[in-house]
Amino acid sequence: MIQAFLNRFALVEFTDTQLGAFLGVFSFLLAISIWARRSQYDVKLVSGPSGGHWLWGHEREIFLTSAGQKFSEWFNTYGQVVRYKGAFFHPDFLVVSDPRFIHHMLTENPYNYVKSPVFRPLVDRLLGHGLVWAEGDEHKQQRKVLNPAFSPANVRDMAPSVFESAAKLRTSLEQAILKSGGELETNVMKWTATATLDIIGKVGFNHDFEQGKSQDAKDIQKAWTDQVNAGMTTAAFYAQIFLRTFPFILSIPVEAIQKQGDIKNVINRLANKFISEKGELVENEKTEKAKNLLAIMMKANSSGVNKMSTQQMIDHITTFVVVGHETTAGSLNMTLLELAQHPDKQQRLREEIISLGHEPTYEDLTAPERLPYLDAVVKEGLRLHPPGAYMDRVAVKDDIVPLLHPITTPSGEKLASLKIKAGQVIQIPNISINRVDAVWKDGGNFRPERWVEQGGLPPRAEMQGGWSNIMSFSEGPRLCIGYRLALLEYKCLLSLLIRYFVFHDANVTIETKFSATMQPRVVGSEDEGAQLPLRITLAED
């Protein structure tokens, strides 16, 4: 057959001998080509887990375990750069925790490593074309417009709204506990998400979500709950795997995929209302000093310098509402669980807050030396349970990436850098990076004392380049734009909750899954979706 094909399209006919020689030379040249191509890149020289399913690689194994668990195991076994097998014949992935590698990507060359072409359409469906979606010059422009909304001075001006929402949470929770006879077992996610959504409404758009009682708040919370619960299903795992090969899957009626658009649609309707109802007020002289997100976007539009379309403003509002309330609440929830499981640490924190002699002020919450153990608990909670637990990047061009920790190849050679091919997918699991035992010694343990005791932290060179030298808010130009506000919310809500309430373990096993953000759920009750039950009583005066 091969001979007939060649004879048909060649100018001369091939004899059996000539054909054999041709195929021999061709095979030799092909082998040389493949060898040369592979020798130019070092991915195949990186160690990692062996085996892997013939179709699902190691990805199903990752999905079936608690979020970050496999990556943590691999970092502790193979080092800080690991290769593993992708599903559905996808090229091997690199997953990294090496600080120099990450700094090279996220800080020194942030726009040469972009979000996956599979991930961006999903972000579009969830949030639109806001900061999370944008790349390159578009990201720089968006960041320039929005940075003033999250400046230190502006976040300070947001503090009264944060304190007001926290006080409302205290009142509501006290009433619920008293109504339940002095002890309440509840899903704390509902309480914290209500408070953070209230805060975002006030500081972002001067909108009152009425402690979750408004129809707008109910619609947002329902759409988000449906989204994350669908995203934890096996169907969601398979859909995302197939999406890499068949992008048209985005349009088929798979619940886990279609639910991703619901939250965006709900907030888009609300954002349109914000813009139409409040746009004129923002531009009015009486609101000249307004500094919330909507006001800043409107002012930018009126200046004509950084003008945005209505849809761009809607996308920013959607991003701020979803990312701004859900991520902070998620980390806070898991910190409350840690404190419930470590009552001695919870009591130490309570005593420090009470020792102030007054309700914590903005200055108390932002100056670490005033409440050092609160600061330590927050850092430890964010280390173990980061708001952004996972991200991936794709190299847009060939690169040589330096390593802090050289890797050893199968032949015994030490490599202080890696040759990366354009198109290589590199995964950055923040939740696992923050727990590497080679860096933190007891990386999976909740031990706030490490942040306040002498010699408790790893050497600076071993740590990451982000806030507090951990990866919880990422690093570089894409470091979370709202991290100052997130920290203020986190510290304010945590200090109030621990001062006035005691949190007890509900004696259930909690695992975390990645579905847009980190989601806790009860082992054995997976069908009930994301939840974090705790028992709560009133603290003694």
- Of 519, 510, 524, 532, the residue nearest 226 (C-alpha): 519
The long-range contacts involving 346-351, CB below 8 angstroms and separated by at least 24 positions, are 346/498, 346/502, 346/503, 348/373, 349/373, 349/374, 349/377, 349/498, 350/498, 350/499, 350/539
In this structure, which amino acid lies at residue 239?
Answer: A
Length, in residues, of the chain = 541
3 state SS for 358-370? CCCCHHHHHCCCC
Q: What is the DSSP letter of 115?
A: -
| Cα–Cα distance measured from residue 363 to residue 488, given in angstroms and rounded to the nearest whole number | 10
Strand 93-96 with 425-428, pairing:
parallel
| Cα–Cα distance measured from residue 120 to residue 116, given in angstroms and rounded to the nearest whole number | 6
In this structure, which amino acid lies at residue 360?
Answer: P
| Cα–Cα distance measured from residue 282 to residue 313, given in angstroms and rounded to the nearest whole number | 14
CB 263 within 8 A of CB 220: yes
Positions at the binding site for heme: 480
Phi, psi at 395, each rounded to 5°: -70, 125
Phi, psi at 452, each rounded to 5°: -120, -15
- Of 383, 371, 389, the residue nearest 491 (C-alpha): 371
Strand 501-505 with 533-538, pairing:
antiparallel
| Cα–Cα distance measured from residue 390 to residue 409, given in angstroms and rounded to the nearest whole number | 27
CB 46 within 8 A of CB 80: no
- Of 248, 192, 255, 198, the residue nearest 229 (C-alpha): 255
| Beta-bridge partners for 402 | 417
| Cα–Cα distance measured from residue 489 to residue 365, given in angstroms and rounded to the nearest whole number | 10
Q: Which residues have C-beta within 8 Å of that of residue 63, sequence separation ≥ 6?
A: 234, 237
Q: Which residues have C-beta within 8 Å of that of residue 392, sequence separation ≥ 6?
A: 115, 116, 119, 425, 426, 427, 428
Nearest-5° Cα angle at 288, 283 to 294: 60
